[in-house]
Every structure is written in C-alpha cells, then in structure tokens.
Structure 1
Amino acid sequence: MLTWSIARRFRRQRGHTGFLSFISASSTLGIVLGCAVLIVALSMMNGFQGALQNQLLRVVPHVEYQRVDGTFDDWQAIAEIAYRDEAVSSVRPVIKQTAMVQAGAEFKGVLLQGIATQADGHDVFDFIAADALQQLQQGSNTVVLGAGLAEDLAVTVGDTVTLLIAERGEDAFQAPKRHRLKVVGLFEFGGEIDHQNAYTSLATARALAGIESGVTGIQLSVRNVFSADAVAQRVGNQLPSLVYVNHWMRTHGHLYRDIELVRTVIYLVLVLVMAVACFNIVSTLVLTVTKKQAQIAMLKTMGLADWKIILVFVWQGLQNGLLGVFWGALAGMGLAWLLPDAIAALEALFAVQVLNDDIYFVSRIPSTLRWQDVTLVCSVALSMSLLATLYPAWRATRVEPARALHGSH
C-alpha cells in the first residue's frame, strides 16, 4: 500500500535526526512500560479476587441464619426449604458461641463453632486432618484450634485447654463456667482466621452451650458468591420463624469493594498513562511534518489526495503504537505469569515477607492473567496512539506546495 510505504520511508529517514529519533523512542518505550505495568496490575487484582472467592469464602459462610429467639429444632426442614432454591449448593448446621481459651497463664478470645463433621459441602474440613475430624465425631470434650491460636497459647495436639463460657440465665448472663477440652487437631488456613476460630462437634457444642437439642445457626453455600445477598433474602423470606440474616458481603465485603476500587483506579490510570505516552507521538509527528514539508509538497503536487497524506502520518504514528503494544503486551504477560515466583524469590533473597500470613488470607502475591485485560490494555493503547496522530496528520494537509518548495531552495 502506497501510504504505508511512504510512512515507513519517513520513519527510516527519521533515524538520521538524533533528537527526533529520541522522542520517537521515548513514546514507544512509554507505551511498552504502560502496557506491561497495567497488565501486571490487573492480573494482581484478578489474583486477589480469585483468592477471595476460592480461599477465604471456603471457610467464611456465604449465607447464615440465626433464630431471633431460641434454636432451630429441626434444621433438616430448613435445609429442605433452602434446597428448593437452585442457587443453594449446600446447607449445614452450626452452633456458635464466644469463649475464652486458657492455657497456663495465657487467655485468648475465640469463636467456638460446633459443626456437623459429616455434613456435605463444608470446606472447613479441607483444613483439618481427617483423624482430627474422626476424633471430634467419636469423642466428647474435644476441640480443634486454629493453628495461630494454638501458637499464641503454646499448645500442641494432645494438650488440654480450658474454655470459659458465660452461661445465660433467665434475666442476665451468669458467671462463666470452665470446661476442659482436649486438643485433637489444628485448623490451618492462614491469616487472622487461624487466630480467631476453634471447632468442636455439635454434641460437645450443645453441652457447652447448655442446649438440649437443635442448633443456633444454619449456613448456606451458594453457587455464585456474588448473589449471596439476593439468595439470603429470598430463602429467608420462606423460613417459618423470624431469623437474623447475614452473608459474607456484610462481614467481608469490604475486601471485595477494596479490590474493585483499586481496579477502577487502575482503569483510570490506564487512560492517563497511555495519554502521557502518546503525547510524544504528537511531538514526533509535528516535528516530522515540519521537517518533511518539501516532501509533502511534492506528494501533493504529484496528485496525492489529502486523505492519503493523512493516512501516511496516521500509519507512521501507529507504527510506534503497534511496536509499543506488541512488546508491552509480551512483557506484561511474562511478568504476570512469573510474578508470584519472582516475588517469592526476592522474599527469600532479602529475608522479607511482602504479605504476612498472620494478617492476610494469602501469603503470596497472587496473579491471574486474563486475555480480556490484555485486549483492553492493547485496545486503549492503540486507540490513544491513533488519536495522537490525527492533529499532526491534519497539519500535513495544510502545507502549501508553492511556499514549501520555494522555502526549500
């Protein structure tokens, strides 16, 4: 194509001018860096969102109901109602109570959960050894402590701890009673959850809470975690008793909102970074038009239409954009794939930890590359590059052949 060939020739001839070549290289380098950094940043946000869905929400209930007064005496009937909703994947009973755990002179607050060790769809089981679950089911006065909690209390499997649980009287809470429980296993998930949770069987939890029968809560898992709010309301409206409705978006939704906020900021930065990188394309083409006035005048004299002259400079500017997008996308995808291992290697080399697993629910920087993000970044970069060529290309059509040719002699 004629216009593409002329654009390539103009680009090659520009190499003889150091300043013009430097500005052009700067624009290409800016697009490379912008594309690479933004692809990596979006991949990190995808990774954190995936960790939230596939890790944290495995142990945090998607939906939970608690009776306003009393207990659920027939939780299977509630399960039947919940399973009528196609969005519900599993239902399980739970008995929750707050307690103080004592080991020696150490005291720690804990959320004690009585769980049905044979219930379906309880991902908590994935973080507890099978023999510990068996001992919870078969024995009484046994408990599984969070690994972080056990470390804080300096206890191990086989030790005995004391639980202080306040019993509720007719009018007010009474003095707490002490209960001795044997530690039969550890719950190892990571993050603050390991420091806050302990698990026991439903039978033991009933004895500790002074409940004759039933459970205090019903937990649901839903197929689409982002529909938890709607499912909670929909199923809750069908229950025969008054209940408190809770779901993960209330308890941990701030994590998801933070991720989405950062993603929105990245999209804004994407446009701004590409705009700044493309400013150099404008400068390069304006200088090229100024220096190539005689050649432009000759092309117009030979009958080259104005729209083809515009195409010449559009193609020339897009060459910078295409080159920057190509290398930027390659670098960004490579960095996104290598990021977790690269960060882990740097942590080992400098003996530092970027994400403390005592605080966060992940211990490594997650990264999930999505092709739609790569496509978005490349599309924005190419669009900004195209917009940057329009004004210089229009200026090229304003060159007056007679004046330009006269001035060149």
Structure 2
Amino acid sequence: MFRPLPFFIGLRYTRAKRRNHFISFISLISMLGLTLGVLVMILVLSVMNGFDRELRTRILGMVPHATVSSQQPINDWPLLADTLLEHPDVEAVAPFVQLQGMLTHDGSVAPVLVNGILPDKEVDVSIVGQHMTRGTLGDLQDGEFGIIVGEQIASRFGVGIGDKLTFVLPEASVTPAGVFPRLKRFHVVGTFKVGAELDGSLALIHAGDAARLSRWEPGQVQGLRVRLGDLFQAPRVAWELASLLPGDYYAQDWTRTHGNLFAAIRMEKTMIGLLLLLIVAVAAFNIISTLVMVVTDKKADIAILRTLGASPGTIMGIFMVQGSVIGVVGTLAGCVLGVLAALNVSAMVAGLEKLFGIQFLSSDVYFISYLPSQLIWSDVVLICAAALGMSFLATLYPAWRASRTEPAEALRYD
C-alpha cells in the first residue's frame, strides 16, 4: 500500500525502539501529560456544569423567571393571567403577594421574605411542592394563617408542625396605648428544603392571608409570577410582556435578582478552564523537548535522507507526524477516560463515601449532598480541539530545525 514518505517514516520513528531510552521516556511523559490534562479538564468542567445545573434548577425553580407587578393592588388578576398566557414563551402564571419582615420565636429573630401564594397555582410555577419535607402546599388554607418555612428557619427556631411563629412587619400601628409594630401569629403547617440560601430566608403563606396583612381587599394580589419555556430568554420576554399590558404594569426578570450569581459561576468555570489548560500546555511543551532531542539523535538519518533527495519539507513533515501522533494518542486517551470519569463520578464518590464512612458534601453545609456531573459534548470537543491544536503547534519549531540540518555537517563526525 502506498503511504506518503513523511507518514511512513514518522510513524516508524514513533513505533521503533530507540537507542536513547531517555527520549522514549520523555515521549511517554508527554503523552501521559496530555492524557491527564484532557481527563482533568473534562471531569472538572463536567462537575462545574453539574453544580450549575443543580443551582439553576433549584434556585430558578423557586424564584420567578419573570414577574408582572403594579404599584397598586391588582383586582382582576385572572384576566391579566389570561393575557400573559397568550405570549408563546409563557408556560404558566400564578399570583403572589410579597412581604418582608422578621420571624420571631422564643426571643430568636430572623429576617424573612414571605410570599403569599395560591397553592393550586403555585405548583405550576415553582418546584417547592416537590421539595416539601413535612406537610404539603395544600395545608395553606385561606383565613387559617398557616405558614410553610425552610428547613434552616425551622432548625434555627427549633419549631415543627403546629408550633407558633410571630411575623413582624416593618410598619407601625397607632393605638390608644401608643405606637406598636404590626404583628401576626402564624402556625407552622409545613417545611421545605431546596438548598442554598432560600431555606433560611423564604416562607410561604396563603395569598388571602397576605392580602389581609397588607390591608387589601379579598382577592387582590401584588403581581403575577411567570414561568417561561426558556428562562434565558427572560429579559426579552419580560420587556415584551411589559409592552403588551395596558395600564401601570412593570415587569422584572430573574437576571436582575440572581443574575450576578450565575455570571460568577460562568466566570469561575472560564477561569478554572484556563488554569487547567496550562496542564495541556506543559504537556505540549514536553513534546517540543522530545522532538528537539529526537532531531539531535536522528541527525545522521536526516542527512542520509537529504542525500537521497528528500526535501526540507519532507523532513519537516516526518517530525510533525511524529509529534502529532503523541498529541493525538494522548488527547484521545484523555478524552475517553475523561468522558467515562464524568459519566460515573457521582457513583464513584458515593462509593467512596460508603466505603470510608464519610460524607464529602454535607447537606448541612451545601445545598446538595452528592457530587453532580453534567457532560456537555461541546466542552469535550473544545477541550480536545485545544489539546490537538497545541500539540500540532508544538511540532513546528523542532520540525523546522530538522529541515535546516546540513547533510555534510551532520555526517562529519559519523
């Protein structure tokens, strides 16, 4: 079978046992360095993608993708909801009343954001119903002043189902006895746990009870919470909804409330990826060292090939092929191992935790108790392309040096 001369000799140099075992050792180290670098990059970025997915699913499953509100209480919210549902990107709508204040119990105080909801509508726009640890959303009944709190709040106050909590609003009531803060006693009907800071800062009550605390008419709400098909289109959709609605309505999306968190995650992923890329760069630098030593070791062979009529381009191609083989084998090995590790890292960590009886991610500290992983093939392609590109570039200088070898000078002492 015909094979181009550079490929034939380059592959032969790669497979042959060299007299200089040190060069063979350096070649192996270069290949292993590329394998390790690609493996680690795929694994670490997959774990970061997993954390990003969990954070997005849990936090953005709780906070509104977008909201439509008014400066005045909204009376005809069902009609407004029907108007919002006409937008093709809107999947569900639910009313809400939002109150800020403090919860107190036996002398302990904690700031809290209280959302007044309709339980039957809230399940369409929030995942809180899927993360109830005690009770259900249906336990919130209009006029009974029940409250559902996060696990961190319940743990901080040491309360459970049926216990009393006092909600203090940042308003004062003037009475004949003087000026007093507005207080309301609630009884705990459920707890939830979704992770992150929401378990310690969020509570849920019935929208009717929230309207009474706000001194509104029954059925009035502050605004509508919107769930979108694509949450990353929220800024555009929010602007379109605000333009669509008549009257004094304004829209807000999650990028204004939690956008900084996800921007920080993206920046962190980028910086860690660049740092891990240095491992691949070091391995590529080793390819340069390997080929420089191979060129020195093969000067006599180069001189003979030049004497037989091989052009400088042919000599350059031989060593480019040899260096590229190291890069391709190392990158492919790292890609296969990295993909396997990313797909099984959660099970492997769980096995280590069971084997040694320890927990790497405590649910008391982190918002999840396992190591998530999400393999994104575009990341794999980008990592492999970067590794192959640096490996190829690393072959250029040594190959060029080989092509500049003078036959007479190389054979003078041989």
Same fold at TM > 0.5: yes
- Equivalent residue runs for 1:8-19 within 5 Å: 8-13=11-16, 15-19=18-22
Tell me which of 144, 165, 190 is aligned to 2:195: 190
Given the alignment of the two structures, is residue 273 of structure 1 paired with residue 276 of structure 2, yes or no?
Answer: no
1:219 aligned partner? 225
Distance 1:255 1:233, change over 3 A: same
**How many residue pairs get matched?**
403
Q: For residues 171-194 of structure 1, what are the alpha-carbon distances to aligned partners after superposition, in whole Å with 9 as ceiling and x for unaligned?
A: xxx632332222111122122211
Is the CA contact (8 Å cut-off) linking 1:82 and 1:88 kept in structure 2? yes
TM-score, length-scaled by structure 1:
0.90
Runs of 4+ in 1 over 6 A off after TM superposition: none
Q: For residues 275-322 of structure 1, what are the alpha-carbon distances to aligned partners after superposition, in whole Å with 9 as ceiling and x for unaligned?
A: 321111111111111111111122222233333322211111112112
Deviation of 1:14 (Å): 5.3
Distance 1:334 1:271, change over 3 A: same
Is the CA contact (8 Å cut-off) linking 2:69 and 2:222 kept in structure 1? yes
**Identical residues among aligned pairs (%):** 37
Q: For residues 92-121 of structure 1, what are the alpha-carbon distances to aligned partners after superposition, in whole Å with 9 as ceiling and x for unaligned?
A: 100111232222232222211110111133
Is the CA contact (8 Å cut-off) linking 1:166 and 1:175 kept in structure 2? no
The one-letter code of the counterpart of 2:54 is A
In structure 1, distance between residues paired with 2:11 and 2:25: 17
- Equivalent residue runs for 1:52-91 within 5 Å: 52-68=55-71, 70-91=72-93
In structure 2, distance between residues paired with 1:126 and 1:139: 24
Tell me which of 3, 6, 12 is aligned to 1:3: 6
Q: For residues 240-297 of structure 1, what are the alpha-carbon distances to aligned partners after superposition, in whole Å with 9 as ceiling and x for unaligned?
A: 3334543211111122111211232244335543332111111111111111111112
Structure with more of its chain in strand, by fraction: 2
Corresponding residue SS for 1:192: helix
Q: For residues 184-234 of structure 1, what are the alpha-carbon distances to aligned partners after superposition, in whole Å with 9 as ceiling and x for unaligned?
A: 111221222111111111122222222113101211111111111121122
1:233 aligned partner? 239
1:305 aligned partner? 311
2:116 aligned partner? 114
- Equivalent residue runs for 1:95-174 within 5 Å: 95-119=97-121, 120-128=124-132, 132-137=136-141, 140-167=144-171
2:292 aligned partner? 286
Corresponding residue SS for 2:180: coil
- Equivalent residue runs for 1:327-338 within 5 Å: 327-338=333-344
The one-letter code of the counterpart of 2:233 is S
In structure 2, distance between residues paired with 1:168 and 1:283: 76
Deviation of 1:50 (Å): 1.4
Deviation of 1:132 (Å): 2.8
Q: For residues 135-170 of structure 1, what are the alpha-carbon distances to aligned partners after superposition, in whole Å with 9 as ceiling and x for unaligned?
A: 213662211121211111111112222222344679
Tell me which of 384, 391, 394 is aligned to 1:385: 391
| Bigger Cα displacement from structure 2, 369-378 vs 99-108 | 99-108
In structure 2, distance between residues paired with 1:60 and 1:362: 18
What is the root-mean-square deviation in Å for CA atoms of aligned residues? Answer: 2.5
In structure 2, distance between residues paired with 1:124 and 1:44: 25
Unpaired segments ≥5 residues, structure 2: none
| Bigger Cα displacement from structure 2, 363-372 vs 267-276 | 267-276
Tell me which of 395, 400, 403 is aligned to 2:406: 400
Given the alignment of the two structures, is residue 204 of structure 1 paired with residue 204 of structure 2, yes or no?
Answer: no
In structure 1, distance between residues paired with 2:191 and 2:310: 79
In structure 2, distance between residues paired with 1:283 and 1:340: 38
In structure 1, distance between residues paired with 2:34 and 2:400: 23
Corresponding residue SS for 1:165: strand
2:34 aligned partner? 31
| Bigger Cα displacement from structure 2, 106-115 vs 332-341 | 332-341
The one-letter code of the counterpart of 2:93 is V
Corresponding residue SS for 2:221: coil
Is the CA contact (8 Å cut-off) linking 2:67 and 2:253 kept in structure 1? yes
In structure 1, distance between residues paired with 2:352 and 2:147: 39
